Amino acid sequence: MKRYLAVALGILTAIGGFVDIGDLVTNAQVGARFGMSLAWVVIVGVLGICVFAEMSGRIAAVSGRATFDLVRERLGPRVGLLNLLGSMGVTFLTFIAEIGGVALSLQLVSSVNELLIVPLVGLLVWLLLWRAKFSAIENVLGLLGLALVVFAVALWQLGPDWGALAHQAATADKPGGESWTVYSYYAVALFGAAMTPYEVFFFSSGGVEEGWSREDIPVMRANVLIGFPLGGLLSLAIAGSTAMVFGPVGITVDTLGQVGLPIAVALGKIGVAVALVGFTAATFGAACETGLSVGYSIAQYFGAQWGKYVRPSEAAAFHLVLMVSTLLATAVLLAKVDPILVTEFSVVFSAVALPLTYFPILVVANDPDYLGEHVNGPVANLLGSIYLVLICVAAAVAVPLMIVTRMGQ
Amino acid sequence: MSERRSREPEDRLGGAIDGALHLLDRQILDSFDKMVGKVDDVELTEGPDGLEITGLLTGAAALLPRLGGRLGDTTVRHWRALKPAEPLRSHPWRVDMTDVDRLDSAVHLSVAREGVLRKDRERHRLGQLTAMEVVYPDGNRLGRVLDVRFRPADDGRLVLRSLIVGRGRPGTLLGYDRRGDQGPWLVRTVVRGLHRHTAITPAARAEIDWSAATVTLDHVPHDAPGHAFG
């Protein structure tokens, strides 16, 4: 019984943990402008993160090695260092966006200026990373993040023509007023939002810390293969509800308040209250995960002690990195950088940085020296190879599309 | 934490290993599974049977030279300049092989991490060897040392037995040049294609010149390397 509870908890937190500021903003923007015509990208992205997370979870369970251990072992110190700078840079960018997202959510609650909230959020994030128990962070914030299910309820209340939505999704029916380049730009952004690399750094490092073994592989798979797709459904609900409210009037989404507007239209004050809990929990949880991921990647490259299961005094360098990166992220936000803009950059650069960690993981997932009999089977390798190509294409076109479309204008 | 892991107690130090593929850049854990550092380089000492592994090197003084090229030189110089008063600053910290218990996906020490690092000697480094150029006696250039294979002597000392040489193209650390059955097909085909010239040669037929950073072979090697674990 206890085992099933643990599995259920893992799945529930994976749903809440899947949606972060990148998914919230990008899905809402895409829904408002393109309706459901980009839904296929969410599905492709969710399957991709399942493939990626399953491989790295399996490696963590069998060999006890987390992502950046492998990056350094398979690419060497020189390429590994460039890889570290790229991946960690993107994760740090996401960290800034998440802290900003928490501040924006609390601003919607309190009407206090976001700049006054940012230092408080930074302090809270740092305190949680320093003092709180790892599982407590993950479980409490993951479960509260489930409040975002309110988007599915809102979509249902808005009473869409389900047949038309499904048809638009199935035929990738781009609205006539939008160009194919802008459509492609948002496709890449949506792909980056679904396949954010930090999710995998966090997932595999957490698995190593919890001491996963071969026996834990089925539970890990259940979390990934059920939790992430359900999280993807939440993403689609967000896109669907903004499509219903903004689509007809041609308004674009530029603030977090607008992301929540369909909830207000459909469900009123109560709905908005629930959505705000969801926003805050999802972004707060993701802020902790991204912050930890910055520390994980640096510590794993240099071999320094990392982790939330050892006392902070035993992992001093790791906690120093956490403190400095939280301070830096807070400082950037205090310089009046728009968190929504940072979010837009972070999802696109996530797509750019993906091959850096995906490729070494795919190689090690095939290496019997690490995995013995648990190496990739034919299905994992077929999917793994298809996604290697997809991820490389998305990474190559991301920046050119960003420049050509001036970030989707 | 460690007692929950149900890994087979394997130890690769009892058989042949490839230095770069199986030892370099691995995590070093102490007897309580606390992290000590990475195997930033490996110390090689001339013994009765040739070069043997006598220690693991860790820390900036071991890592920075391995960044290679101008980046390596510059960072090493700056590292020294940060504290000119400190003696032996460019000498790396070492873990003696007597403190090493076993090797799997990490290096496990038999002692606690407190005070395990030493700076009592400076010998050759594996990272210098794997960066060396390979030439024929007539001076023609063959390529680069990609990796070296060690085998345990009767008393367990890991002695350098063979060199793996190739054109120095990227991807040698991925293992495909030594294992033909490792998927996925797409990556294997590309990397094995790049490494079709990679060959293994007995260390006895190679002359290592540490000051000139070259390895001279007395023959043209043709044997493709198999995997160290058989």
Q: Which of B22, B38, B67 sits opposite A81 (nearest CB)?
A: B67
> Which among B6, B174, B184 is the nearest to A384, CB-wise?
B184
List of chain B residues whose C-beta atoms are within 8 Å of the C-beta of residue A368: 179, 182
pLDDT tens-digit map of A92-143: 999 999 999 999 999 999 999 999 999 999 999 999 999 888 778 888 888 9
Going from the N-terminus, what domains does chain A have, and what CATH number goes with each?
A: 2-404 (1.20.1740.10)
Q: Which fold has domain B128-217?
A: SH3 type barrels. (2.30.30)
The residues facing B124 across adjacent strands are: B44
Using CA coordinates, name the residue in chain B closest to A368: B182
Look up the CATH number of domain B2-125.
2.30.30.240
Element (H, E) at A293: helix A256-302
A residues 194-253 closer than 8 Å to B (CB): 209, 211, 213-215
What's the gap in Å between the CA of A387 and the closest CA on chain B?
Answer: 12
pLDDT of B144 strictly over 50: yes
| pLDDT number for residue B138 | 83
Question: Quick check: A246 and A265 in contact, CB under 8 A?
Answer: no
What tens-digit pLDDT sequence spans chain A (409 residues)?
677 877 888 888 888 778 999 999 999 999 999 999 999 999 999 999 999 999 999 999 999 999 999 999 999 999 999 999 999 999 999 999 999 999 999 999 999 999 999 999 999 999 999 988 877 888 888 899 999 999 999 999 998 999 999 999 999 888 888 899 999 999 999 999 999 999 999 999 999 998 999 999 999 999 999 999 999 999 999 999 999 999 878 888 999 999 999 999 999 999 999 999 999 999 999 999 999 999 999 999 999 999 888 899 999 999 999 999 999 999 999 999 999 999 999 999 999 999 999 999 999 999 999 999 999 999 999 999 999 999 999 999 999 999 999 998 8
Q: Which chain B residues have a beta carbon less than 8 Å from that of A78? A: 66-68, 71
**Confidence at residue B9, expressed as pLDDT on a 0 to 100 scale:** 56
Instruction: Say whether B173 and A211 touch across the interface (CB within 8 A).
Output: no
Burial B98-110 (b: 16+ CB within 10 A, else e): ebbeebbbbbbbe
Per-residue H/E/C for chain B: CHHHCCCCCCCHHHCCEEHHHHHCCCEEECCCCCEEEECCEEEEEEECCEEEEEEEEECHHHHHHHCCHHHHHHHHHHHHHCCCCCCCCCCCEEEEHHHEEEECCEEEECCCCCCCCECCCCCEEHHHHCCCEEECCCCCEEEEEEEEEEEECCCCCEEEEEEEEECCCCCHHHCCCCCCCCCCHHHHHHHHHHCCCCEEEEHHHEEEECCCCEEEECCCCCCCCCCCCC
What are the pLDDT digits (tens) for B39-60?
999 999 999 999 999 999 999 9
Inter-helix orientation angle A197-209/A67-110, to 10°: 110
Does B4 contact chain A (CB < 8 Å)?
yes
Q: Which of A55, A302, A321 to mutate to test the interface with B (most CBs of B within 10 A)?
A: A302
Q: Where in chain B is the domain with CATH 2.30.30.240?
A: 2-125
End-to-end CA separation in angstroms for chain A:
52
Task: Note whether A369 contacts B26, CB cutoff 8 Å.
Answer: no
ipTM of this complex: 0.93
Establish if B36 touches chain A: CB-CB under 8 angstroms: yes
How is residue B130 written in tokens?
């794997």
| CA dist., res. A371 & res. A381, Å (int) | 14
Cβ contact, residue pair B63, A388, below 8 Å: no
Q: Are strands B133-135 and B214-217 parallel, antiparallel or unpaired?
A: parallel
Please name the residue of chain A whose CA is at the shortest distance from the CA of residue B4. Answer: A211
Structure confidence by residue, pLDDT tens digits, B2-51: 434 444 557 889 899 999 999 999 999 999 999 999 999 999 999 999 99
Q: Which chain B residues are within 8 Å of A382, Cβ to Cβ?
A: 184
B180, closest residue in chain A (CA to CA): A367
Average pLDDT for B172-188? 90
How far away is chain B from the Cα of A2, in angstroms, using its nearest Cα?
Answer: 18
pLDDT on residue A167: 93
